[in-house]
Structure 1
Amino acid sequence: MEASVSANRAYHHGDLRAALITATFELLAEQGLQKFSVAAVARRLQVSSAAPYRHFPDRDHLLAAVSGVAARELNSAVAEAAGAAGPDPGDRLAAAAGAYVRHVYRTGAGLPVIYAAGLSRIEDDGRQQHTRALMATLMDLAAATGTPDQRETLLLVEATIAVAHGYIALFADGFFTRGHHSADDIAARAIEAARTLTK
């Protein structure tokens, strides 16, 4: 598999920490969070089961590092998609749903990974900065649609992400395979569904 070759290549160049993060993304995309383990990452990189713990004391610390990278990348993807969607606030927010679908398809790291239980106890300023920035971007996009207060803004963010996450989860579970849909097809459906939230 090409992705695992890239992770192994990163390790053989001497940066095991970066390779562990790369391999974690690969496994999340392939298997999801529930099946993820540090042991599987070690096997992917063909290193001893103890090797990852020289860089991350436990599973949650590894996921925290991945969470920060995922939040930063998703925030960038959302901002780019919103910018390309034009001036209409509803279109801009709906574009975030499509960006989410494409990001999760590519990385396996959606909000259940970014905000995974247990990560809040880990002191990681970089992760906290990126997760807060992601939420701020989503809140700003939702508020621009004319929500009356912060509670309604948060509810709109939740609904938009729920729509997007639902579509990518169904896609991952094989719900759409009979129609031979691509990730871009599912992203388009998520955008269309999310757009109805503000009409």
Structure 2
Amino acid sequence: MAGRDSYHHGNLREALVQATAILIAEVGPQSFTLAEAARRAGVSAAAPYRHFTGRDDLLEEVARQGFEAFADRLHTAFDDGKPNPLAAFLRTGQAYLDFARESPGHYIAMFESGISITGNAALSRASDQARGVIMAAASALFAHLPADQRPPATMVANHVWALSHGVVELFGRGKPGARAPYSPAEMLESGVLIYLRGLGLLPQ
């Protein structure tokens, strides 16, 4: 019978990341310990140090993998702006909500753990990939306008990102959203449409 630490090289690292993501979803990013992550992964308390310098290093890896999966999901949803930029833009918003719901441990590690994204080059690149998709989706919305009439893509992307995060926090995790007469998806879509109308990108 295989021993507790008899992982092939690489499998232990991934097992710890997945165990940590589940643990973060259960107890939050500040309460999980390396020892508990190791126990969940079925290895000794010393085993994580083969791959990670400490809990923050492990937490950053959970976030990095989360951002990569998040970027892939956003990219698939955007689908090069098909069949039209507005539909594609709204799909990226739905993809944001879906990711937060389906991968809560990664999402929390990415946005709510207090880690320094800029202090980790690989994590920063993964974060930029996700942000880049939202910026591309925003740019596509007003590509038909003269250059001097286009709102800054960075501003639009950041506003919609903040709106999406707010919907997840307030309406996507039970109360008070559970009492709302509309779904998180409806809340996000209506907010985005109001915002875009305010910018003059949609007819009144």
Normalising TM by the smaller chain, what interval? Answer: 0.7 to 0.9
Letter in 2 for 1:54: R
Gap change, CA 1:150 and 1:123, over 3 Å in 2: farther
CA distance in 1, matches of 2:23, 2:150: 36
RMSD of aligned alpha carbons: 3.2
1:83-122, aligned counterparts within 5 Å?
A: 83=79, 86-108=82-104, 109-110=106-107, 113=110, 116-122=114-120
Kept after mapping to 2: 8 A contact 1:81/1:99: yes
1:105-184, aligned counterparts within 5 Å?
A: 105-108=101-104, 109-110=106-107, 113=110, 116-124=114-122, 127-146=123-142, 152-170=152-170, 171-178=172-179
Kept after mapping to 2: 8 A contact 1:28/1:36: yes
CA distance in 2, matches of 1:52, 1:149: 53
Kept after mapping to 2: 8 A contact 1:85/1:95: no
1:131 positional shift? 2.3
Kept after mapping to 2: 8 A contact 1:91/1:195: no
CA distance in 1, matches of 2:96, 2:127: 14
User: Which range moved further: 98-107 or 30-39?
Assistant: 30-39
CA distance in 1, matches of 2:150, 2:107: 23
Gap change, CA 1:151 and 1:168, over 3 Å in 2: same
Kept after mapping to 2: 8 A contact 1:99/1:187: no
CA distance in 2, matches of 1:173, 1:33: 19
Match in the other structure for 2:202:
none
Structure with larger Rg: 2
Gap change, CA 1:130 and 1:193, over 3 Å in 2: same
Letter in 1 for 2:176: F
What percentage of aligned pairs have identical amino acids?
A: 24
Match in the other structure for 2:193:
195
Kept after mapping to 2: 8 A contact 1:90/1:198: no
2:70 matches 1:74 = yes
Higher helix share: 1
Gap change, CA 1:178 and 1:84, over 3 Å in 2: farther
Kept after mapping to 1: 8 A contact 2:70/2:130: yes
User: Which range moved further: 22-31 or 137-146?
Assistant: 22-31
Gap change, CA 1:112 and 1:65, over 3 Å in 2: closer
Q: Of 33, 54, 58, which residue of structure 1 is paired with 2:50?
A: 54
Kept after mapping to 2: 8 A contact 1:29/1:104: no
CA distance in 2, matches of 1:122, 1:129: 9
Gapped regions of structure 1 (runs ≥ 5): 1-10
CA distance in 1, matches of 2:88, 2:142: 13
Letter in 2 for 1:176: G
Match in the other structure for 1:3:
none
1:123 positional shift? 4.5
How many residues matched? 184
1:52 positional shift? 1.5
Kept after mapping to 2: 8 A contact 1:94/1:192: no
**Structure having greater relative contact order (Cα 8 Å, sep ≥ 6):** 1
2:31 matches 1:27 = no
TM-score (structure 2 length as normaliser): 0.72
